[in-house]
Amino acid sequence: MTRQRGFWARQPLPTRILVGLAVGLTLGLLANLLAAGEPWLDSFIAYVAYPIGQIFLRLIFMIVIPLIFAALTLGVAELGDLRRLGRIGAKTFGFAFSVTLISVTIGVLLVNVVRPGEGIDPAAADALRQSLVSAEARRPVEQAAEAKPIVDTLLDIIPRNPLEDAARAFDPTYRGGGLLAVMFFSLIFGVALALTDRTRTAGLVAAIEGLYEVVMRIIGFAMRLAPYGVAALIFTISARLGFDILGVLAKYVGVVLAGLLIHQFGVYSILVRLLARMSPLVFFRKIREIMIVAFSTSSSNATLPTALRVSEERLGVPRHISGFVLTLGSTANQNGTALFEGVTVLFLAQFFGVDLTIPQQVQVVLMSILAGIGTAGVPGGSLPLIVLVLQSVGVPAEGIGVILGVDRILDMCRTTVNVTGDVACAAFVARSEGYELNSSTDNEPGLAEV
Ligand code: ASP
């Protein structure tokens, strides 16, 4: 018994989550096949599977507000050097913002064209949604979404009372800016912090850094529960929907991967050619090592040392530029993550049959861009933000159970896109500052050597 437990605990987390997915899915499908509609199955879902899934989700919910505040504030405050670096900072920020906008747009277009979340029996989807979101909560959301003009949606991003927005960020009936307003407040706070005399703010910065560390630790606790939470959430969903869910999941993975591929090899190739004046083939060949490390670690932060070394040695980006752009980019420039978030939220909205209005879709795009800044460059760093964005547009956060099981592979791919974006940005900044990049492929090691 003890040995068995040791074996399970020794498995890497992604493996355990995958096992959780497989077990939950198999049992859910079996239950759907054998006992759909039986009262005992409904009771089992209501009293066992649902609460277990909720424990996992709530552990994530409870840290999201402090996480966003700490991550965004620190992310921007680190730009304090912006003033010193002036042009380089402005170029980096401009690149990050506009390229992230492109990536989210690609994702949103794809998900609207392919509509991967459709294809399940609408009655079943509706029943599922009914059971996950209470009717009182839903009605006003629908009304609110219909009634709110886009000008107000945009104005509400600037909070009157950020504490109210924070307190009601999960309340689907709330008509203010909610999460987006909290994000805005954190950005402004970060900007002001960066512009204030360091001797007066050192303690505050240290405290926010401490807050960030503690919050990351709590996410660690939640992730330890993830295999069980995922099993419970996917059981709930597959027991209700049956085999339809497999096709839907495959389409979702396909859409995310297609979007990431277009961005990685289409958009970046054009940008590298136009902005860094370098052959995309040479560029990708030179940064292979970075892509491999990003893919295998699923962490922009863990890839940073490799990215710094390779861009200096192989691409010839000067150290003062790569140091600034890549460090900042590893948390603040996450094109792949933003694309993934946009696709996932809209996919789950389709999946649960929640019609998002145009203002709500704009809200998802904006949040995905900001989430690209607020996401920690660690494996699964974007998941807490997805949960929050889902909730704020009235899509059941339980949907995370649908995607978590396949998240590792998507994480590997989006991290590769994130880091490639940082390096492309460094190459662009170096080039625009008048440095020659190293385009020669002589003395390049073969793939076997990297
Ligand atoms: N793993 C990603 C990164 O480090 C973040 C995420 O999307 O979860 O870049």
pLDDT at position 135 over 50: no
The predicted-structure confidence for 139-159, as pLDDT tens digits, reads as follows 444 444 455 666 776 788 899
What is the band of 426 on the pLDDT scale with cuts at 50, 70, 90?
Answer: very high
pLDDT exceeds 60 at position 289: yes
Question: What pLDDT is recorded for position 5?
Answer: 65
Which of ligand 1's atoms lies nearest the C-alpha of 300?
Answer: 4
The percent of residues above 70 in pLDDT, for the chain, comes to 88
pLDDT on residue 359: 81
Encoding tokens for residue 347? 């996919």
Residue 29 Cα to ligand 1 middle (Å): 31
Span 95-119, average pLDDT? 91
Mean pLDDT of 434-444: 73
pLDDT of residue 143: 45
Binding site membership of 407 for ligand 1 (Cβ less than 6 Å): no
Cβ atoms within 10 Å, residue 323: 15
Q: How many CA atoms lie within 13 A of 91 on its CB side?
A: 22
Answer whether 384 contacts ligand 1 (Cβ < 6 A).
no
* Portion of the chain with pLDDT greater than 90, in percent: 26
pLDDT at 64: 77
Distance from C-alpha of 200 to C-alpha of 184, rounded to nearest angstrom:
23
State which ligand 1 atom lies nearest to the alpha carbon of 383.
8
Ligand 1 centre to CA of 383 (Å) is 9
pLDDT tens track for 75-87: 777 765 555 556 7
Ligand 1 within 6 A of 335 CB?
A: no
Atom of ligand 1 nearest to the CA of 303: 4
**Ligand 1 within 6 A of CB of 92:** no
Is 60 in contact with 383 (CB distance < 8 Å)?
yes
List pLDDT tens digits, range 331-343: 778 899 999 999 9
Cα dist. 144→97, 173, 357, 394 in Å? Answer: 29, 7, 11, 11
How confident is the model over 394-407, as a mean pLDDT? 81
As a whole number of angstroms, the distance between CA 173 and CA 143 comes to 9
How far apart are the C-alpha atoms of 258 and 264, rounded to whole Å? 10
Residue where the block lists tokens 């909070």? 159
Sign of CA dihedral 130, 136, 139, 143: negative
pLDDT tens-digit readout, 10-61? 877 778 888 888 899 899 999 988 887 788 888 888 899 888 988 887 887 7
Q: What's the 331 CA to ligand 1 centre distance in angstroms?
A: 9
CA of 357 to the centre of ligand 1 (A): 28
Best substitution site from 67, 337, 341 to test ligand 1's pocket, by max atoms within 8 Å of Cβ? 337
pTM for the whole thing? Answer: 0.76
Q: Atom of ligand 1 at shortest distance to CA of 336?
A: 7
pLDDT band, residue 217 (cuts 50/70/90): confident
189 close to 75: Cβ distance less than 8 angstroms: no
Looking from the CA of residue 340, the nearest atom of ligand 1 is 7
The pick from 219, 260, 300 for probing ligand 1's pocket by mutation, whose C-beta has the most ligand atoms within 8 angstroms, reads 300
For residue 415, the ligand 1 atom closest to its alpha carbon is 9
Distance 245 CA to ligand 1 centre (A): 26
Q: For 158, phi and psi rounded to 5 degrees?
A: -90, 110
pLDDT of residue 134: 45
Return the beta strands (E) in 143-296 as ranges. Answer: none
Strand stretches in 187-263, DSSP E: none
| 299 touches ligand 1 (CB under 6 Å) | yes
- Can you read off the two tokens belonging to residue 74? 């620190």
User: Which domains occur in the chain, in start order?
Assistant: 12-432 (1.10.3860.10)
- Which range of 103-107, 229-233, 302-306, 312-316 scores highest in mean pLDDT? It is 103-107
Residue 415 DSSP SS3: helix
What is the Å distance from ligand 1's center to 90 Cα? 24
Split at pLDDT 50, 70, 90, the class of 130 is low
Q: Is 414 in the pocket of ligand 1 (CB under 6 A)?
A: yes
Ligand 1 pocket, 394 CB below 6 A?
A: no
The mean per-residue pLDDT over the stretch 102-125 comes to 86
374 lines ligand 1 (CB under 6 A): no
Average pLDDT score over the chain = 82
The per-residue pLDDT for 4 is: 56
The whole-number pLDDT of residue 265 equals 95
Element of type H or E holding 52: helix 50-77
